């Protein structure tokens, strides 16, 4: 077919779309994230059954139950995992559970300190050494879990403030992770939730729930529900858990008053980082899906042209 | 436009933006890059012998806060890394090399204070550690002689830096490999093999009494799902079995396995996209909320 | 003997103790001690990493190789962080306080240098995932199409857009909508595929661990000329 001005124009335009500079794609993604952050649209959350089960696993624990919280992530995964750490610590403080904090990542200790500093402003009456203790980071990954499976004090002679465990009241009746009622792990990779299931929860027979990055989450589904009793996979699951926690808190605050519960949930939603970030997440997903569709359209057009000759 | 002209335009634009931001900061519309006076609270806690907090006193002091300056520096480093999206440049290289140096030292410091001091020096030289006041309760505690082995193995590991005596580090590597192999051998067999097989054997005919709400509340869908789950695991394993040629029944099962694996990979891709976007959202929040104060949190 | 046989004996002894410590309670303490030794040696591995970094970048600076200025930045950042952390400069509780205590210079390095750099490095991946999706994610054959459809359902179902698009189910009601379908994909076909992979990997790890303990696999020892 001879080239006419029209076909040349179409080809030129088509070529520009097909061979688009990747920096244009980067710009679209940046705008897809920045604009929703500025406009702050909020979307309702409909918690999935897995998130409801995870919430129930935590909520059913009676007051005074012991939970081991392992902070196995770093600032690189903070946007996804910090909302989970915050909502779980808040849930534990609200239900008056005893928290034992450990970390298998060096920066996990910092993430734990940041979480505690934030939540202690909401719950100033929670006492260190009585309601919670921070044992800090130890190197060695699954080696650490293997030791605390039978003896905490052997691996952690002191807490992060260099106080011997024997002098900390909350450690009095705790010899190993077998004395825990629940293990909660917030994990960004290795060592993380997989290792806690394999080397901690399975041998000790202790129930475990976990939060992981969205990248890791599909790999952990085989452990559900017998080995891993709850999983929050990524930011969406964190937002859904925040919704359940807010509904419970607002239900306790407002009783049966539906209007009060609604406005209470809207008020709490402003502090829930998971929910705040989901707006930008949704728009960015749409942009990426649009790029995939455009990419495939150009691919099919090229293939048809090649077949025609 | 020549490279020099592009550079000049770039620095002029950056200069103008910087001036605009300084004006905003001076008008209290965003965090200031210079030290500011703030009131800081110091909490002093009195604890009893058991470590329970008995009383708290709060002291307030006026100090110069450098938080604004460091926030601007953090924003500068963030923009240096983001600049790589346009092209590799000296700002990105500076930030990258700074990150490599700081992170290597950070891990060393954390490992030293959290593991070496309490778990090695606290066992080998408890008296000395007690004298420094680093750990309480070590006075009069005898040393644990067998911790000399990890100290020696650790020093031997450092021999890897020597080209002449680097082979000695094989002893430490052998210890590391032996530990990992020993730990993994049992637990992978239990958690990732035996328990996975037992969990695949689910009832193929589900009644209303034993539906799994995670899958569905309908017994029919649960039954079909359990059948698909069992067949999916079986066919997926067949796909990975390369000792038999993939022909006939084996070939057909292997084909089904590929389809199941493709669904898995598609799900993984979807989740990967989610995960990466979330990380970007967090960084943009820092720039637009903590630094520029355009988003009010 | 010292270069190959001794390391193989160490691997065998340690691996054997850790395996039988799961079955014989009397050996459990020895297994725990070996795990603690492993944790301590892991810290020396961090020190080795730092030493290697100084060696490589120090060499670059000494020889004034291309980009030696950046190596200088790396070394300065390394030693500054190391000094501040080891001596706990600016720590409000002094020498005996928590190394990452609020207000300490080391915590400041974490808050204003490490955190922004680390987080932004990973945030760049969002851009590359979009660019890679546009260029490489093609429905070239039936299997790739299945992969694409599964990914689309997950991407839609994991946001509110999935609920909005599922017009056949009212928004505030549970039902067979796209988010439910996404959940089903995760809990059934994805689980089946991941479980098959997990079982395969487990068998691989068990056989490799056995080969390492028995000294059949020796590649970790390196070449004989070392």
3-state secondary structure chain C: CCCCHHHHHHHHHHHHHHHHCCCCHHHHHHHHHHHHHHHHHHHHHHHHHHHHHHHHHHHHHHHCCCCHHHHHHHHHHHHHHHHHHHCCCCCCCHHHCCCCCCCCHHHHHHHHHHHHHHHHHHHHHHHHHHHHHHHHCCCCCHHHHHHHHHHHHHHHHCCHHHHHHCCCCCCCCCCCCHHHHHHHHHHCHHHHHHHHHHHHHHHHHHHHHHHHHCCCCCHHHCCCCC
Size of interface A-B (CB pairs under 8 A): 174
Cβ within 8 Å of C, B 41-70: 42, 70
Half-sphere exposure of A147 (CA within 13 A, CB side): 25
The predicted structure's pLDDT at residue A236? 94
- Rounded (5°) CA angle A185-A190-A196: 40
Q: Which residues of B touch A138 (CB under 8 A)?
A: 114-115, 119
pLDDT > 70? residue A226:
yes
Quick one: CA torsion of A73, A77, A81, A83, rounded to 10 degrees?
130
pLDDT > 60? residue B183:
yes
pLDDT > 90? residue B20:
yes
- Give the gap in angstroms from C-alpha B184 to the nearest C-alpha of chain A: 9
Q: For C126, name the nearest residue in chain A, comparing CA atoms only.
A: A29
Q: What are phi and psi of B247, to 5 degrees?
A: -130, 155
- Provide mean pLDDT across the span A16-41: 90
Mutate to test the interface with C, among A102, A218, A220, A277 (most CBs of C within 10 A): A218
Q: Which residues of A touch B187 (CB under 8 A)?
A: 142, 198-199, 202-203
The predicted structure's pLDDT at residue C226? 47
Whole-angstrom distance, CA of residue B121 vs CA of residue B119:
6
Give the DSSP letter of residue B118.
Answer: I
Give the DSSP letter of residue B145.
Answer: G
Share of chain A above pLDDT 90, in %: 71
The predicted structure's pLDDT at residue C137? 86
Tell whether A4 is covered by a domain: no
What's the pLDDT tens digit per position in C110-144?
Answer: 999 999 999 999 999 999 999 998 988 888 899 99
Tell whether A302 is covered by a domain: no
- Give the gap in angstroms from C-alpha C203 to the nearest C-alpha of chain A: 15
Which chains, if any, share at least 3 CB pairs under 8 A with chain B? A, C
Q: For C211, name the nearest residue in chain B, comparing CA atoms only.
A: B181
Nearest to A185, CA basis, from A199, A170, A171: A199
CB–CB contact B84 C34 (8 Å): no
Q: For A48, name the nearest residue in chain B, comparing CA atoms only.
A: B214
Share of chain A above pLDDT 70, in %: 96
Indicate the average pLDDT of chain A. 91
Whole-angstrom distance, CA of residue A261 vs CA of residue A188:
34
CB–CB contact B118 A203 (8 Å): no
What's the pLDDT tens digit per position in A137-185?
Answer: 998 899 999 999 999 999 999 999 888 898 899 999 899 999 999 999 9
Q: Which domain holds residue C178?
A: 137-215
Task: Residue B233: count other Cβ atoms within 10 Å of its Cβ.
Answer: 27
pLDDT > 90? residue B2:
no
A296: tokens are 């495939």
The predicted structure's pLDDT at residue A9? 47
CB–CB contact B271 C85 (8 Å): no
Mutate to test the interface with B, among A86, A172, A235 (most CBs of B within 10 A): A235
Share of chain B above pLDDT 90, in %: 66
Q: Which residues of C touch A154 (CB under 8 A)?
A: 32, 36
Residue A306's alpha-carbon distances to A68, A144, B56, C211, in angstroms, are: 61, 59, 79, 52
Give the DSSP letter of residue B117.
Answer: I
Mutate to test the interface with A, among B278, B283, B284, B294 (most CBs of A within 10 A): B278
Share of chain C above pLDDT 90, in %: 69
Q: Which domain holds residue A60?
A: 49-253
Q: For C50, name the nearest residue in chain B, comparing CA atoms only.
A: B104
CB–CB contact C112 B236 (8 Å): no
The predicted structure's pLDDT at residue C199? 96
Whole-angstrom distance, CA of residue A33 vs CA of residue C132:
18
CB C181 within 8 A of CB C153: yes
CB–CB contact A143 B183 (8 Å): yes
What's the pLDDT tens digit per position in A177-215?
Answer: 999 999 999 999 999 999 999 999 999 999 999 999 999
pLDDT > 90? residue B198:
yes
pLDDT > 60? residue C48:
yes
The predicted structure's pLDDT at residue C136? 84
Q: For B242, name the nearest residue in chain C, comparing CA atoms only.
A: C200
pLDDT > 90? residue C45:
yes
Nearest to A229, CA basis, from A55, A95, A109: A55
In DSSP terms, B36 is beta-bridged to B65
Q: Could you identify the residue written with the tokens 């450990």?
A: A102
Q: Which residues of B touch A213 (CB under 8 A)?
A: 275
Mutate to test the interface with B, among C3, C29, C41 (most CBs of B within 10 A): C41
The predicted structure's pLDDT at residue C225? 52
Number of domains present in the structure of chain A? 1
Number of domains present in the structure of chain C? 1
pLDDT range class, residue A1, cuts 50, 70, 90: very low
Angle formed by the axes of helices B219-239 and B248-285, to 10°?
Answer: 100
ipTM of the predicted structure?
0.88
Whole-angstrom distance, CA of residue B11 vs CA of residue B15:
6
The CATH number given to whatever domain includes residue A189 is 3.40.50
The domains of chain B are located at 203-297
Tell whether A35 is covered by a domain: no
CB C178 within 8 A of CB C156: yes
pLDDT range class, residue A220, cuts 50, 70, 90: very high
CB–CB contact B51 A167 (8 Å): yes
- Give the gap in angstroms from C-alpha B247 to the nearest C-alpha of chain A: 29
CB–CB contact C189 B260 (8 Å): yes
The predicted structure's pLDDT at residue C103? 83
pLDDT range class, residue C160, cuts 50, 70, 90: confident
A70: tokens are 């392992």
Tell whether A165 is covered by a domain: yes
CB C21 within 8 A of CB C28: yes
Please, what is the end-to-end C-alpha distance for chain B in angstroms? 42
What's the pLDDT tens digit per position in A80-111?
Answer: 999 999 999 999 999 999 999 999 999 999 99
Q: Which residues of C touch A289 (CB under 8 A)?
A: 152, 155-156
Residue from the list B115, B136, B272 with its beta carbon closest to the beta carbon of A215 = B272
Tell whether C118 is covered by a domain: no
Q: For A23, name the nearest residue in chain B, comparing CA atoms only.
A: B86
Q: Which pTM value belongs to this model?
A: 0.90
Contact C172/B at CB under 8 A: no
The predicted structure's pLDDT at residue B6? 86
CB–CB contact B115 C39 (8 Å): yes
The predicted structure's pLDDT at residue C224? 61
Cβ within 8 Å of B, A 242-271: none
Residue from the list B137, B214, B264 with its beta carbon closest to the beta carbon of A49 = B214
């Amino acid at each position: 077919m001879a080239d006419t001005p029209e076909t040349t124009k179409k080809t030129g335009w088509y070529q520009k779309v097909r061979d688009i500079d990747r920096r244009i794609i980067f710009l679209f993604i940046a705008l897809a994230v920045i604009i929703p952050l500025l406009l702050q649209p909020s979307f309702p959350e409909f918690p999935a059954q897995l998130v409801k089960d995870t919430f129930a696993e935590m909520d059913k624990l009676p007051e005074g139950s012991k939970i081991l919280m392992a902070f196995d992530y770093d600032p690189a995964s903070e946007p996804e995992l910090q909302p989970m750490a915050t909502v779980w610590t808040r849930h534990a403080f609200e239900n008056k559970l005893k928290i034992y904090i450990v970390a298998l990542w060096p920066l996990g200790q910092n993430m734990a300190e940041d979480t505690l500093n934030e939540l202690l402003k909401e719950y100033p009456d929670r006492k260190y050494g009585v309601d919670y203790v921070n044992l800090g980071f130890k190197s060695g990954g699954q080696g650490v879990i293997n030791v605390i499976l039978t003896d905490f004090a052997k691996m952690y002679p002191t807490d992060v403030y260099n106080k011997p465990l024997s002098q900390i009241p909350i450690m009095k009746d705790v010899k190993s992770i077998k004395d825990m009622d629940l293990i909660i792990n917030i994990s960004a990779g290795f060592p993380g939730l997989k290792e806690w299931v394999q080397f901690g929860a399975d041998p000790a027979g202790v129930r475990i729930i976990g939060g992981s990055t969205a990248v890791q989450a599909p790999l952990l589904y085989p452990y559900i529900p017998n080995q891993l009793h709850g999983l929050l996979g990524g930011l969406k699951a964190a937002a859904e858990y925040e919704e359940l926690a807010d509904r419970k808190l607002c239900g306790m605050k407002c009783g049966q008053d539906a209007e009060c519960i609604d406005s209470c949930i809207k008020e709490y939603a402003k502090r829930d980082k998971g929910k705040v970030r989901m707006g930008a997440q949704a728009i960015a997903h749409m942009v990426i899906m649009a790029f995939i569709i455009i990419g495939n359209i150009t691919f099919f057009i090229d293939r048809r042209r090649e077949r025609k000759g | 436009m020549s490279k020099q002209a592009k550079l000049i335009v770039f620095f002029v634009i950056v200069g103008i933006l910087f001036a605009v931001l300084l004006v905003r900061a001076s008008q209290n519309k965003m965090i200031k890059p210079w030290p500011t006076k703030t009131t800081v609270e110091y909490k002093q806690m009195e604890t009893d012998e058991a470590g329970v907090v008995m009383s708290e006193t709060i002291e307030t002091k006026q100090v110069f806060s450098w938080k604004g300056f460091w926030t601007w520096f953090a924003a500068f480093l963030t923009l240096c890394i983001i600049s790589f999206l346009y092209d590799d440049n000296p700002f990105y290289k500076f930030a990258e090399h700074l990150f490599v140096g700081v992170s290597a030292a950070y891990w060393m410091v954390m490992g030293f204070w959290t593991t070496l001091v309490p778990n090695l020096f606290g066992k080998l030289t408890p008296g000395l550690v007690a004298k420094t006041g680093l750990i309480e309760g070590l006075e009069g505690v005898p040393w644990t002689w067998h911790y000399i082995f990890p100290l020696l193995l650790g020093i031997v590991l450092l021999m890897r830096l020597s080209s002449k005596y680097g082979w000695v580090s094989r002893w430490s590597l052998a210890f590391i490999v032996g530990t990992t192999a020993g730990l993994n051998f049992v637990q992978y067999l239990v958690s990732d093999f035996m328990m996975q097989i037992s969990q695949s054997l689910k009832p193929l005919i589900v009644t209303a009494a034993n539906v799994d709400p995670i899958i569905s509340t309908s017994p029919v869908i649960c039954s079909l799902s359990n059948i698909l789950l069992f067949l999916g695991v079986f066919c997926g394993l067949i796909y990975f079995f390369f000792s038999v040629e993939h022909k006939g029944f084996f070939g057909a099962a292997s084909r089904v396995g590929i389809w199941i694996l493709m669904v898995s990979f598609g799900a993984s891709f979807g989740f990967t996209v989610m995960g990466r976007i979330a990380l970007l959202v967090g960084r943009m929040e820092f720039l637009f909320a903590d630094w520029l104060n355009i988003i009010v949190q | 003997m010292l270069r190959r046989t001794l390391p193989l004996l160490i691997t065998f002894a340690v691996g054997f103790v850790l395996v039988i410590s799961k079955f014989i309670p009397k050996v459990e303490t020895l297994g725990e001690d070996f795990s603690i030794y492993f944790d301590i040696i892991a810290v020396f591995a961090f020190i080795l990493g730092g030493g290697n970094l100084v060696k490589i970048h120090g060499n670059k600076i000494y020889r004034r190789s291309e980009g030696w200025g950046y190596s200088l930045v790396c070394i300065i950042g390394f030693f500054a962080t190391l000094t501040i952390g080891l001596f706990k400069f600016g720590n409000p509780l002094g020498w005996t306080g928590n190394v990452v205590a609020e207000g300490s210079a080391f915590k400041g390095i974490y808050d204003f240098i490490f955190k922004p750099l680390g987080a932004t490095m990973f945030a760049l991946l969002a851009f590359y995932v979009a660019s890679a999706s546009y260029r490489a994610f093609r429905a070239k054959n039936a299997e790739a199409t299945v992969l694409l459809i599964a990914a689309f359902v997950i991407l839609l179902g994991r946001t509110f857009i999935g609920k909005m698009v599922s017009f056949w189910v009212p928004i505030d009601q549970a039902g067979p909508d796209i988010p439910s379908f996404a959940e089903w994909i995760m809990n059934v076909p994805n689980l089946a595929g991941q479980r098959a992979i997990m079982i395969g990997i487990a068998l691989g790890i068990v056989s490799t661990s056995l080969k390492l303990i028995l000294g059949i696999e020796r590649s970790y020892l390196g070449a004989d000329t070392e």
